Amino acid sequence: RRSTRQMAPCDLPALIDQAVEIAGNDFDLAIGFDFKGQAIIRQFDPALGPVPGTANELEQVLLNLLKNAAQAIHQREDDSEPGRIILRTRLNPPWAEIQVEDNGIGMSESVRKRTFEPFFTTKEIGQGTGLGLSVSYFIITNNHKGQMEVQSTLGQGTCFTLRLPLAGTPLVSQEFNQLTR
């Protein structure tokens, strides 16, 4: 369903908290996984103010990343350390950065390289469409003129970094000024 795409100032910590809340209610049922039982660590940069974005789209991206993190933790053999998801925001001009890091099973380099390809999935048949991350990538890079990358170490975990242009960035300023007029 295509929503009317309106860029508006987004409070990233509030969006992240909302996504975590939804994730907690959804995933427990969907994959029999205790999402709320995971350590969720928030490291929010107090220097980062509201960032131009489309809230429901950013929330969709965060939900995809949280779901993948939960599944990666769920698939670990080794339970010596508890599952952990670190959610970070950082002011890194000209970008606002969001990181979603997990200590799940991680990815091999060959899988990592294909992460954003449409229909590519490592999940069992019926578990994933292989569209979550390609759609997320499109939302960040195309709709928000941002960047999205992933780092991962097999057996140690994965970290997704999203970069969204800050309000002062020339391209965003144009769109933003048209909206606020």
pLDDT, tens digit, 9 for 90 and up, residues 74-97:
888 776 778 899 999 999 999 999
Q: Tell me, yes or no, whether 115 lies in a domain.
A: yes
Q: Tell me, yes or no, whether 165 lies in a domain.
A: yes
Give the DSSP H or E segment for 60: helix 55-74
Q: Tell me, yes or no, whether 161 lies in a domain.
A: yes
- pLDDT attached to residue 77: 79
Q: What is the largest CA-CA distance in the chain?
A: 55
User: Residue 132 sits in which domain range?
Assistant: 8-180
In tens, the pLDDT along 123-144 reads 666 666 677 898 999 999 999 9
- The verdict on pTM exceeding 0.75 is yes
Cα dist from 102 to 32, 74, 105, 177, whole Å: 18, 11, 9, 37
Q: What are phi and psi of 114, to 5 degrees?
A: -100, 5
Q: Tell me, yes or no, whether 2 lies in a domain.
A: no
Q: Tell me, yes or no, whether 1 lies in a domain.
A: no
- pLDDT attached to residue 1: 46
Strands (E), the chain: 8-10, 39-44, 51-53, 84-92, 95-102, 147-153, 157-165
CATH code of the domain containing 26: 3.30.565.10
* Residue 152, strand partner residues: 158
- Give the count of domains, the chain: 1
Q: What are phi and psi of 16, to 5 degrees?
A: -65, -45
